[in-house]
Each structure stands twice: as structure tokens, then as C-alpha cells.
Structure 1
Amino acid sequence: MTKPDLAVATSTKIKFDDSDDDHDSTSEDEGEIEKELADVTFEELQRAKSDGSEMVYRKFKSENKVGGRANKNRPMEMSSKKRVSRYREVIQVPKKVVRDPRFESLCGRLDVEGFKKRYGFLYENEFPGGKEDKQLKSAVSRRTDREILAEHKKKEREAAKQGKKPYYLKKSEIRKEKLIDKYKELKASGKLESFIEKKRKRNASKDHRYMPYRRLEGGDQ
């Protein structure tokens, strides 16, 4: 009874040996084909392309190409001869979708009155933008550089009619004229003293930064 089992075992062994021999023969065939192609001239390659005989080797090579994966749960097979790209995505991160609630139907319609009631406290206090608007309005009321220059040109024309030489204003003189206008405006509004006091304190704080500190009596000990 044991003899047929041995026969089966030997037959399977012979089959495995045959498969190994086939694998060795295919690898040898590949090596021989590569050696032959290395010695082939450019003209012969062009002739092979025109005949279509090159497609046989290309098909054989594509079948043995390493790459991809057999199953989504298996690791990806890659050739060790190719360099891995720098920005290869190893773990696929889900893409973030940015939604604007103004144009999203899921958020519903905008209730303007309800929005004003909920966030009315934000508009009770004055924003810095409102202060800037007031400063701009006061700046518009003052004379600008162009107006100062126009007034100066008018005076110079009158002086030129009397035979005097023209005098051109410098930038420093324009700034001086603007300061004079500012002081006149502050004096008329009664805010000149407070403005001078604030400026004096600001300059004193600047000077205080550059003042040397007094040494302590026991500092050298």
C-alpha cells in the first residue's frame, strides 16, 4: 500500500523540478535576448520596427514588468532600480472641501434682521475705521500741498509784476505752512493746549529711553 504513495511523491517532485528548469531556461533566454539586442545596430532596429518583430520582445518584457499590486490590501511592488519620487503620496489623505455658507443651500437663507439683532453689539462701539474716516475728513478740510503751492504761485506772479525775482518753495517750507495751518485750526477749536501737552509727554518718553540709568551704590562691590 505504501508503494503507490511513494510513486505519487516522486512524480510530484519531478514536476517541481521541471518547473524550476523552465524558469531557469526562461531567465537564460532573457539574458541571451538582451545580449543580442545590445549588439544590434540602429539600422537593424529600424528594420525590426518596420517588420513588427520588435513587438514580440516588447510584449514579453511587459509581461515580466514589476509594478502595481495584485490586490488593494497588498503592498505595491516597485522596481528597486528606479528612484522613488520625492513627492510620493504614501498615505492618501481625504481632500478638504471648503464650503462658503453664503452660497451653500444646506445653510439656508440669510436673515438680515436676525443677523443684526444677534450681532448688534459689534456695531455699538466705534471701530478704528470710523476714527480713520474722521481723521480723513478733518484732513480734507485743511489746506493741501497743492493749495499751498497755488497760493504761493499767485503771490509770486504779483511780485513778478512788480519786478521781483520768483522764489520757489521747498518741501520743508510746505511742511512748515501746513503746521501753521494746523496750529491755527487747533487754536480756533480750543484744543491747542491739550495737543501741546500730549506732544510734550510723547517727546519726554522718547528722551527717557535714551537716558542712562543711575548706578547703584553697591553695584561695584
Structure 2
Amino acid sequence: MKKPGNEFGMSSKTHDVESEELSSSEEDESEIERELAEVTFEDLQKAKSNGSLTVFKKPDQEKKGGRANKNRPTEVSCKKPVSRFREVVQVPKKVVRDPRFESLCGNLDVEGFRKRYDFLFKNNLPAEKEELKKQLKKSNDPKVIDQLKERISWIEKQTKFESTKQTDAAILAEHKKKEREAAKQGKRPFYLKKSEIRKQRLTEKYNKLKASGKLESFIEKRRRKNAAKDHRYMPYRRSANSEQQS
């Protein structure tokens, strides 16, 4: 007769052997799945067409860029994420050009530009100023009146600035002409500073006002303007009531 203890021992041993075989088979299946996951789709198709289901794992090696055949498309890994923004249509890049610093546009002729657009400061802006003054007298809307005054002030500044530039340009041109004649005689050229140009401009203005008889009125107007500026910064005298309260 067989002892019951031996039967339980044999059954436990067989159970351990079966569990080890199952675990080894599961490991083999997982290993096969890992190998098949790394096999390319092209190799699987070749194995099926040949009738052999055995696919050998290729040794791990770094994939080099390029194509095996020039007629094949380049293989790209599906593990790399595709960028969200792709350049589907190549748009030509906009190139911003500044004509002041472009050799293609030529050199700026300041005198020629001033002569060609001189009609704006001599005819158009003065005519617009007179029209705006007429509208200012007829208008009763405060907003419209403020807009008209701002536009008139802007026109006056532009015309005054342009006249100053023209005067400075004339002074500089006359000085250059004299210096060219002096250079022909062997003298060293003298270049005018901005302060010298301003002095000559004020001298010319003074001579014109004196010749026209408007010098006294101009000086009186300038004196009142300077007095108003000084009056703003002068301290006020305290009244007697305020001194007694303090």
C-alpha cells in the first residue's frame, strides 16, 4: 500500500513543475511578442509571402538616415510626435524695405524734394488754413471747434518749420558757395555749425523786420510773451488777512 504522505508530496511536486512550465511559456510568449513588435512591416510581409513564419530579430544598431533605394520613401519612426504646425504651402517671405537706406532707391535729393513739394507749403496748407478759419467762425459745437483749432495749430507749425528749414538751407548753400571759391584760392574750408546757422537766421529775420517797419511790434510782442512766462514762476505776496490768521 502507498502511503498517503507520498501521494500529497508527488502531487505538490507535479504542481510546482506545471507552474514553472506555464511561467516559462508565458515568458517565451512575451519575448516573442517583443521581438515581433520590433520587426518591420516589410519583413512580416516577406515572411508571409515565403510561407515561413519564422522571423529573426535583427541585431540592435543605430538607424542611419537616408533610403535603401532612391525610389522608396524615407522611413520615419511612428514613435516621434509630429509637430502641430506644419508648413504645407511655402509662402514667400515678406522683405520690408526702407527707401531711405536702400541703394536700389537711389540717393535722396533734399533740394529737389523740397522744390517738387514746395506747393504744399506755399499753396495747399495756407488755403486749408483759411478754409478752417471760416468753418471755425460758423461752428457752435465744442468738439468740432477743438478739432479745427488743433488742425490750424498743426498747419501753422508745419509752415513755420518749413520756412525755417528753407532759410537754413539757403544760408548753408551760400556759405558753401563762398567756401568753394576760397578753396580754389588755396584756403582751408570752414564748416558752419548749427549755432552759427541759427545766428545768421536771426540776423536775417531782424534785418527783414527792420526794413518792413515791424521790428517794434515784434519786440513788444516777444516782451509780453516772456513777461507772461516769468510771471508764472514769481511768488505771490500774502495778504494781510492770511498773515493774521496764521
TM-score with structure 1 setting the length: 0.36
TM-score with structure 2 setting the length: 0.33
